[in-house]
Amino acid sequence: MAAAITQLVDALGGFVLSDTAVTNTVVANATVGGAGATTNIFHIEFDNTANAAVTYLKIYENVNPTMGGTAATDEPSFVLAAAASTKEYVSVPSAIAHSTGFSYIATTTQAEAGSPSAPASACSLAMIYTKA
């Protein structure tokens, strides 16, 4: 399934991004309405239960990062390691703020140099975020 975004109509006043097929292919410009606006990520649920190896969720403050690139915008702004066969939850009350939107991947490659390796099976991701 491709990434889907649902607008929340409650106190959060934001969006829920759901993606059931997160791999080492960058999901570029993942915010609703495109790039150029501040996004604040408040909650992340990363499901690695289908994999027998540690998988890293990498979020970039870049709408189209270059994997293995050397520019500061090609480095992830947030990395979450999910142990084999686990689901990880992170809540950030003060938010993970991005001024240009964000992109993400799932990879078994911890280092930033070179190409990211794909997990054996796709991971699932859910994020609650706002967009200014």
Cα 32 from chain centre: 14
CA dist., res. 108 & res. 56, Å (int): 6
Asked if pLDDT for residue 1 goes beyond 60, the answer is no
CA dist., res. 65 & res. 27, Å (int): 10
Determine the average pLDDT of the residues in 122-130: 94
Determine the average pLDDT of the residues in 7-13: 62
Count of domains in the chain?
A: 1
| Per-residue exposure over 67-77, b if at least 16 CB sit within 10 Å of its own CB, e if not | beeeeeeeebb
Tell me, what amino acid is at 38? Answer: T
Task: Provide the residue range defining the domain that includes 71.
Answer: 4-131
Model-level pTM greater than 0.75? Answer: yes
Residue-wise pLDDT for 48-62, tens only, equals 999 999 999 999 988
